[in-house]
Amino acid sequence: MNLIETFLAQAAARPDAAAIITPKGRVVSYAELSRASTIRASAYRRAGIGPGDVVLIARGVSVELYETLLAVFRLGAVVMFPEPAAGLKGLRVAVEAAQPKAMVTTGIGYVIRLAVPELRRLKLLPDFDDDTPAGEEPLEHLPGDAPALITFTSGSTGRPKGIVRSADFLMLQHQLLEHLRQTQPGDVDLISLPVFILSNLAAGATSVIPAGKLTRPAKLDGAALRTQMARHGVKRIIAPPAVIARIAENAPPMPQLSAVFTGGGPVFPNLLRAIAKAAPNAAVHAVYGSTEAEPIAHLAMTDISEADWVTMASGAGLLAGTPIPEIKVDLRDHEVFVAGPHVNRGYLDPADDRSTKFLRDGELWHRTGDAARIDERGRLWLLGRREAASGGLFPFAVETAALSWPGVKQAALLAGDGRARLALEGDGLQLAAMQERAKALGDIEVVLVKAVPMDKRHNSKADYARLKKLLS
């Protein structure tokens, strides 16, 4: 079965179970979600949407988002998600690349549609209310290799690249992630990474959508999230590092939590220690991957030895754990290359493959752009973006060490262009003391900043382009 069929099986087996709980506390059952997706699918079919048609979905994380997503999948059509962090320019590039037939949006999306000529040409699919009759129950079984989902990279290193996932690819990715998460029907998870809600729907679990603006995760109210989790009996969290940091900040112990999964950005030791302190009974996991290959490696906090903590603090890199069995990892001049069944086979525009895809002995390899080393136990130690290294200095190696220094909250290294500069954000930092510590890592100039700029997508990675402008 594919993901939509797996969801429908869960809806048939557990119709009254909670599928999604909204930030305002509305509980939507599996039966309700299934019915709503049926109504939408019927309306979309009457509007001319069928197998293979690309539908752009531009709406925030909500129950309605998943009603829409499931409806498009029911028709055998292809879901396209633009990348919000890429802005209007990135949106126009994405529309040109994917050539959607129609779009579904709400709120500000209608305004954006009027402002972007490429969107005005798309058919606007209807919405519905709860009194709309369901009618027939559309369900097209997609061939395994049929396109199902098109997403785009954030474009942080250039224009956004489109990635096509087939029905089989989505199911495989779900299965591999479930090897790590081991979700059970009835689990209640706080999830701020939208793709994992889709995975939860296939697993029969309950997904709680965090309160607040998910496009600005670092600005979420940690106390409000903790209250929300307690109210709905949340036992697990799946979120990027910025959200985990908000939940852990000034948190009283949360003994009810059994697991925390984080990724989508570097998971530094200070965050691991903070969430372990806030959730003393939780198994804490860091997952390393990329848009083109997820997951690549996995690290359970219990597997970090005292020697590993010391090694990270000394500037030897950020431990990312052991590559999963289903993937091959190779290092070429420190850069991570991966191959395997869940590694993206190519971009929407074949021209984007030239610099990232390579054949070796008939096998397709993807270059991630990440630098790393592999230790004697076969574990990956991340060193940061390969192009950001200079003079033997790697960003993550220096940043991981700096984040172990008293008072440092964020750190970002700018190597190259002469002497390397290390931007530090924190409370009560003394420049002379920080400079003395940095001396042990190399020829580095320390600069104290009010705030290290972070990426727009997950607020979990340093935005080196913006930092360069700030320091200039």
Structure tokens that stand for 73 in this block = 């999948």
Are 293 and 368 a contacting pair, CB within 8 Å? yes
By C-alpha distance, which of 157, 155, 148, 152 is closest to 81?
152
Q: What is the average per-residue pLDDT within 221-234? A: 98
Q: What angle do CA 65, 208, 154 make, to 5 degrees?
A: 55
How many CB atoms are located within 10 Å of the residue 388 CB?
A: 20
Q: What is the average per-residue pLDDT within 316-344? A: 96
Separation of alpha carbons 289 and 361, rounded Å:
24
Phi, psi angle pair for 76, to nearest 5°: 75, 15
40-49 per-position pLDDT tens digit: 999 999 999 9
Predicted confidence at residue 381, as pLDDT, reads 98
Confidence of residue 367 (pLDDT cuts 50, 70, 90): very high
Superfamily of domain 303-309+316-388: Luciferase; Domain 3 (2.30.38.10)
What CATH number is given for 390-472 in this structure? 3.30.300.30
Helix (H, G, I), strand (E, B) or coil at 88: helix
Average pLDDT, the chain: 93
CA dihedral 192, 195, 201, 206 (to 10 degrees): -10
CA distances from 132 to 8, 73, 127 (A): 20, 20, 10
DSSP string, 271-303: HHHHHHHHSTTPEEEEEEEETTEEEEEEEEGGG
Q: What is the average per-residue pLDDT within 301-319? A: 98
278-300 per-position pLDDT tens digit: 999 999 999 999 989 999 999 99
Q: How many alpha carbons fall within 13 Å on the CB side of residue 136?
A: 11
Query: What amino acid is encoded at 125 in this protein?
Result: L
Predicted confidence at residue 415, as pLDDT, reads 87
420-457 per-position pLDDT tens digit: 999 999 999 999 999 999 999 999 999 999 999 998 77
Helix (H, G, I), strand (E, B) or coil at 263: strand
Structure tokens that stand for 456 in this block = 């727009």
397-427 per-position pLDDT tens digit: 999 999 999 999 999 999 877 789 999 999 9
Q: Is the pLDDT of residue 241 over 60?
A: yes
The 3-class secondary structure across 431-442, one letter per residue, is HHHHHHHHHCCC
Q: What is the average per-residue pLDDT within 110-118? A: 90
Domain at 3-181, CATH from 3.40.50.980, 3.40.630.10, 3.40.190.10, 1.10.3260.10: 3.40.50.980
115-172 per-position pLDDT tens digit: 899 999 999 998 765 555 556 788 887 788 899 999 998 655 567 889 999 999 999 9
Residues of the chain with CATH 3.40.50.980: 3-181
Q: What is the average per-residue pLDDT within 299-316? A: 98
Residues of the chain with CATH 2.30.38.10: 303-309+316-388
